[in-house]
Amino acid sequence: MKALELREKSVEDLNKELVELYQEKFVLRFQGTQSTAKIKMVRRDIARIKTVLAEKTREGAK
């Protein structure tokens, strides 16, 4: 997922997606070493969402 796509979403949608990604990461961790690339992608998506959420909260505070 791209950061531009995430910036278009609302804060509620981003929080829902963040929860889903955390759940997916949890499941992938127990599947074994076959899914290390997928875990890496999920971790990066989580970081992107957190970054966009931080940007949105900073904009809202101004």
Q: What is the pLDDT of residue 59?
A: 83
Question: Helix crossing, 11-29 with 36-61: angle to 10°?
Answer: 160
pLDDT tens digits, one per residue of 1-45: 788 899 999 999 999 999 999 999 999 888 876 778 899 999 999
- pLDDT for position 32: 74
From the list 53, 41, 59, 55, the residue with the least C-alpha distance to 14 is: 53
Which pLDDT value is given to residue 35? Answer: 74
